[in-house]
Amino acid sequence: MTRQNRQFLIAFALVVAPAWAAVFGQEPSPVGSRQSSVSANDRQVLVTFSQQASRRLRRAGSTPRAYGGRTTYKTSPRVKRVAARLAKTYGLRRVDEWPIQALGVHCVVYELPRDLPSRDLLELLARDPRVESAQEMQIFRVLARGYNDPYLDLQHGIRSMQIERAHLWARGRGVKVAVIDTGVDVNHPELQDRIETAKNFVDENPQAFTSDVHGTAVVGVIAAAADNGIGIVGVAPAVEILALKACWQEQTGSASAICNSFTLAKAISFAISRDPDVLNLSLAGPPDPLLSRLLSRAIDRGIVVISAADPDLGRRPGFPSAVDRVITVSAAGTGDPRASSSVAAVHALIAPGKEIFTTTPHGTYGFLSGSSLAAAHVSGLAALLLERAKGLSADRILALLRGTGSNGLNACAALTRLLHSGTCPAAAVTSSGG
């Protein structure tokens, strides 16, 4: 198609598209709903508008209605008018909207008219002087796969990293870890005393929240209770967890799950407002300008961000691995030759990620593998170090963990380096307190 023909088609569509929608009753697909599909997001874009600095936005995440429907928060009349006029100009359907306090902008999800060139229309939106930013709605996937061999050794990562000996010095007490993932079984006996906040940015389904596999597994690796006579031991069993649901399972009972730009933006913004020490993102997807800006803001605030490496992206990582100062973690022992070279060496760590025995919904346990679990191990290690030295930077944490020897990460050795003690304690922890 020639440039002239393309411009004519866009101009024609901007006039006719609103009428088409009225005649055929086209409804926008619900972003973030458990019923929505990946393809439903193909026609959705995120548009931000500058919010007047004199008007204070409500706290991020405080919208009174669920993500699946339009919110009813207060925002400036000027922004409301601009957003409505933009929709009318381009024949857009408004799906949802929300203020991003951390960036001082108002974010609107629009659905583009069908059968129109979305890329060209997105370029027009980006050039419109009323628009602060415009981008595609991206899709992200959590990085784990199910594994249920009952004869595998349990918690080999805990042993190989000398976690029990490290617990004589630190258990993550006083450290807050935000986990942006699927929901979490907050009633699991290993986790119920570790969840400081549980927040759902996807839907209003508490049963689905507590039945989600991936988030429950990730939080178990980080924070499962120690010395309680049951189950497993978390890397940092005394941390406080913010369980922030921005992803939803593709199938009931599966570790596979997806998120999108809008749900992740909500969760990251909320996390920034709660000022955690560590932010765990066991997921990956394409580059995303809005999410990258938000994550950079979190890092500027001193939050240590841990992400999972996606070997399928090769040496060109997307979000969140490509964001500067993010610690990206590959899974050791997965049998994938790409695992050790999937991210830039300056940011990369390799942690246990194969056949990890961890918590699963409804008070159960199971094996999972993948870089999601590797990232969770490193988030726990960071929490141990931060208990003993608040304010450690990501670079310092990387240096401490990398310098622990040639046989993989060693929590005890990292703490000895931090505390200048010389050697690890000789005995494993045996008393309560986790």
Active site residues: 181, 214, 372
Place of tokens 């961890």: 358
Helix (H, G, I), strand (E, B) or coil at 272: helix
Please name every residue paired with 295 in a beta bridge, in sequence order, or none if there are none.
Answer: none
Measured distance CA(240)–CA(10) in Å, rounded: 51
Beta carbons of 255 and 146 less than 8 angstroms apart:
yes
CA distances from 115 to 10, 14, 101 (A): 11, 12, 34
Smallest CA-to-CA distance from 185 within 155, 148, 224, 151 is with: 224
DSSP category for residue 319: B
**Can you say whether the dihedral through the CA atoms of 391, 395, 398, 400 is positive or negative?**
negative
Smallest CA-to-CA distance from 262 within 38, 98, 432, 25 is with: 98
Calculate ∠ Cα 187-193-194, nearest 5°: 100
Helix (H, G, I), strand (E, B) or coil at 164: helix
Q: In degrees rounded to 5, what are phi and psi of residue 216?
A: -60, -40
Please name every residue paired with 227 in a beta bridge, in sequence order, or none if there are none.
Answer: none
Question: For the chain, first and last CA: distance in Å?
Answer: 65
Q: Which residues contact 247 (CB under 8 A, 6 or more apart)?
A: 140, 142, 180, 181, 182, 202, 214, 215, 257, 258, 259, 263, 283
Beta carbons of 237 and 158 less than 8 angstroms apart:
no
As given in the structure block, the two tokens for residue 49 are: 């508008």
